[in-house]
A = this chain, B = another copy of it.
Amino acid sequence: MSNRNNGQWRLKSRPVGMVKETDFEYIEEPLADLSANQFLVRNLYFAFEPAMRGWLNDVKSYVPPVAIGEVMRASTVGQVVESNNPDFQPGDYVQGMLGWQEYAVTDGTPGVMGAVNKVPEGIPPYLVLSALGGTGLTAYFGLLDVGQPEPGDVVVVSGAAGATGSVAGQIAKIKGASKVVGIAGGPEKCAWLTNDLGFDAAIDYKSEDVKARLEAECPKGINVFFDNVGGDILDAALLNMAMNGRVVLCGGISSYNEEDLPPGPKNYMQLVIRRCRMEGFIVIDYMDRAGEAIADLSAWIASGQIKHGEDIQEGIENTPKTFLRLFEGKNKGKQLLKIADPPL
């Protein structure tokens, strides 16, 4: 193994405003030998999430920032190629926070964001990066535990063609929502929501008046608004909440690349007038209940009730470019990058 080089994308500089490809640099270095209990993973797929943008800022948050010169933190799936660890055998598919690199040396114990886990058999390994991974769990616990939809509720999802939003909307339908409306950018994404994923309506925020469309689609108001976007879209939804509605704050991608924080939701006092609750959550708090979510999600995927979408780019040289697709609104479903085929 000592002959192998490991290509890595490291954080070169903290982005100011919109993250750029040049905020990262590609470095190759020889792989170290394995110590006792360690194993070597060949990464196959990188997963990309909007929240990763936050990890690049030097601020106190729910995880420490990525350091300058550090391999960029990212969830990956890979295959074990060598092992000094009796729990991991060559050929095993694994998922972990193994970063933007071709290879990772690990002993499998929890790092900043969880341990390395084996991928269940019988599914495409990359599913644990999307609908059966953090993304699916985020949609599951955010919608059900924070949003607490009741049968008959009207549910609206922003960033609905994204990895989390697309799953959240489908779970809402499964749980008996009378209507699920997705907000997404562009006719292709909107058509995907209504034609393929079973959303009842889609609003194209790039060409339509979101506030007017929400009023038309939800004449009795929104019971649950699952927000991935923030900004004007959150403000429009706040103006159309039903009494005792819930705003699930999953993310706010519209502001992640802003140098200074943009104004907050000016209509937040609607929370008083309509007795609503706006609540944030982070999926890592629910990891002790991951089993129940994965059981439900697996069954819904197997029955076709949840369709998962992945936008799979290729080639490790395209890593930062693929990350930027999130903020350019290009991905439909989970943004992944395939960097290798299974080696074994």
Residues of chain A having any CB pair with chain B under 8 Å: 61-62, 230, 235, 249-252, 255, 261-282, 285
Chain B residues, Cβ within 8 Å of A265: 264-265, 268
Known: A279-B277, A282-B275. A266 touches B269 (CB 8 A): no
A121 to chain B, nearest CB (A): 34
User: Once the chains are docked, how many angstroms separate the CA of A250 from the CA of B271?
Assistant: 10
Known: A263-B266, A266-B264, A278-B277. A272 touches B285 (CB 8 A): no
Q: Which of A250, A267, A277, A280 has the most CB of B within 10 A?
A: A280
Q: Specify how many copies of this chain sit in the oligomer.
A: 2
User: Once the chains are docked, how many angstroms separate the CA of A300 from the CA of B22?
Assistant: 64
Q: From the candidates B271, B281, B282, name the one contacting A249 in the complex (CB within 8 A).
A: B271
A135 to chain B, nearest CB (A): 16
Chain B residues, Cβ within 8 Å of A269: 230, 249, 252, 255, 280
Chain B residues, Cβ within 8 Å of A252: 269, 272
User: Once the chains are docked, how many angstroms separate the CA of A255 from the CA of B270?
Assistant: 13
The 4 nearest A-B residue pairs measured at CB? A263-B263, A272-B280, A264-B264, A271-B280
A277 to chain B, nearest CB (A): 4
Asked whether, in the complex, the Cβ of B285 is within 8 Å of the Cβ of A280, the reply is: no
Asked whether, in the complex, the Cβ of A271 is within 8 Å of the Cβ of B263, the reply is: no
User: Which residue of B is nearest A261, CB measured?
Assistant: B266
User: Once the chains are docked, how many angstroms separate the CA of A251 from the CA of B148?
Assistant: 25
User: Once the chains are docked, how many angstroms separate the CA of A314 from the CA of B9?
Assistant: 73
Asked whether, in the complex, the Cβ of B62 is within 8 Å of the Cβ of A273, the reply is: yes
Chain B residues, Cβ within 8 Å of A261: 266-267
User: Once the chains are docked, how many angstroms separate the CA of A281 from the CA of B252?
Assistant: 25
Q: List 14 A-B contacts (CB under 8 A).
A: A61-B273, A249-B268, A249-B269, A250-B272, A252-B269, A255-B269, A263-B264, A264-B265, A269-B280, A272-B280, A274-B280, A276-B279, A277-B278, A278-B279
Chain B residues, Cβ within 8 Å of A276: 279-280
Chain B residues, Cβ within 8 Å of A249: 268-269, 271-272
A230 to chain B, nearest CB (A): 7
User: Which residue of B is nearest A59, CB measured?
Assistant: B273
A54 to chain B, nearest CB (A): 8
Asked whether, in the complex, the Cβ of A275 is within 8 Å of the Cβ of B266, the reply is: no
Asked whether, in the complex, the Cβ of A275 is within 8 Å of the Cβ of B271, the reply is: no
User: Which residue of B is nearest A265, CB measured?
Assistant: B264
Asked whether, in the complex, the Cβ of B281 is within 8 Å of the Cβ of A275, the reply is: yes
Chain B residues, Cβ within 8 Å of A250: 272
Chain B residues, Cβ within 8 Å of A272: 249-252, 280-282
User: Which residue of B is nearest A255, CB measured?
Assistant: B269
Could you list 11 further interchain pairs (A-B, Cβ under 8 angstroms) beyond the known A262-B266, A277-B278?
A61-B273, A255-B269, A263-B263, A264-B266, A268-B278, A269-B280, A270-B280, A271-B278, A271-B279, A272-B281, A276-B279
Q: From the candidates B268, B281, B282, B285, name the one contacting A268 in the complex (CB within 8 A).
A: B268
User: Once the chains are docked, how many angstroms separate the CA of A78 from the CA of B271?
Assistant: 34
Chain B residues, Cβ within 8 Å of A266: 261-264
User: Once the chains are docked, how many angstroms separate the CA of A61 from the CA of B230?
Assistant: 24
A119 to chain B, nearest CB (A): 28
Q: Which of A255, A263, A264, A272 has the most CB of B within 10 A?
A: A272
